[in-house]
Amino acid sequence: MFQLEFMRNAFVASTFIALTCGVVGVFVIARNLSFLAHTLSEIGFAGASFGVFTGLAPLDGMLFFTMISAVAVGEMATEQSRREAAIAAISSLFMGLGILFLSLANKSASYATNILFGSIIGISVQEVWQLVVLSIIMLIVMFFAYRYLVFDSFDSVGARVQRLPKHLLSILFLLLLAISVSIGAQIVGSLLVFVLLTLPASSARYLVHTVPRMILVSVILALAGVWGGLVLGYYTNWPVTFFIATIEVVIYLGTLLWDRRATGD
């Protein structure tokens, strides 16, 4: 299967996607941001179709939309309940906008399907490079912010007491999340990037109990999903995304059962 160039591209791209989503996902779960990750992927859909409409690359359109929204959310009401309601409203608006841009751009429905549910055939060498560079930049930023991000994410109260720059950390993390959503969407699609950002990390928290180990397990589970998905997709001709989602869900349910048994209830 590696004779085919698009398979090689898809393999490299999804490896880096799994790496970044696996790392970022640990913080998404700790900060309780699954819901926002979902919304950002819908915003990403609007961004991609905006890109198509204006002639930008879909990835650039996505980055543009999600990063602006991330900063906006960071500046918005801090109260959790109100924030979620506002986010839900905004996401409906963006889904609508995405469909509008696509129809204005005169693209067929299959194009929308590609953006929403991903496509492994569409990705070019140049896009792979862009994605790899973005991932590496993200990982470097996370390296330098690591201890502060970990403290703020796993013990918000303690971080405030130690006067960590919470607002700055929150904006920084939302930007990292926006970038992961945008690059993840290239393979698994904007609707299912959510899967890679939440399930591997959710599984990891039941299996191991330090942050470095959670990151390691989360990345391994994300890799298992995308690699497994690509191989199975190649041999069956079924959508890769279907396999990725299925693998991650099965692992997640498995860890839930395992944890039940381990704690005896």
Partner 1 sequence: MATDKPLLQGQDLAMTFADRPIFSHVNFTIPRGAMISLVGANGSGKTTLTRILLNVLKPTTGKVLTSAGEQRLRVGYVPQFRNLDRDYPLSAEAFVQLNQLSHFWPWHTTKEKRQLHDILKETRLTKLAKTPLGMTSGGEKQRAYLAQALVNDPELLILDEPTASLDVAVKHELIGLVRQLNQQRGLTVLFVTHDLPMAREYTDRYLLLQNGQMTSGNAAALTDEMITD
| CB of residue 250 to partner 1, shortest distance in Å | 20
* 3-state SS assignment for residue 189: coil
- Which of 84, 55, 65 is closest to 179 using CA atoms? 65
Q: Which two tokens stand for residue 241?
A: 């995304």
Burial of 102 (0-12, 13-18, 19+ CB in 10 A): buried
DSSP secondary structure, 42-61, as one string: HHHHHHHHHHHHHT--HHHH
| CB of residue 151 to partner 1, shortest distance in Å | 5
| CB of residue 31 to partner 1, shortest distance in Å | 13
> For partner 1, which is the closer residue by CB, 102 or 204?
204
What one-letter code names the amino acid at 128?
Answer: V
Residue 208 CA, distance from chain mean position: 22
| CB of residue 146 to partner 1, shortest distance in Å | 4
What one-letter code names the amino acid at 53?
Answer: F
> For partner 1, which is the closer residue by CB, 41 or 218?
218
> For partner 1, which is the closer residue by CB, 96 or 158?
158
> For partner 1, which is the closer residue by CB, 186 or 203?
203
| CB of residue 147 to partner 1, shortest distance in Å | 6
Compute the chain's Rg from CA coordinates: 18
> For partner 1, which is the closer residue by CB, 121 or 137?
137
In the complex, the residues that contact partner 1 under the rule CB under 8 A are 143-148, 150-151, 154-155, 157-163, 205-206, 208-212, 214, 263
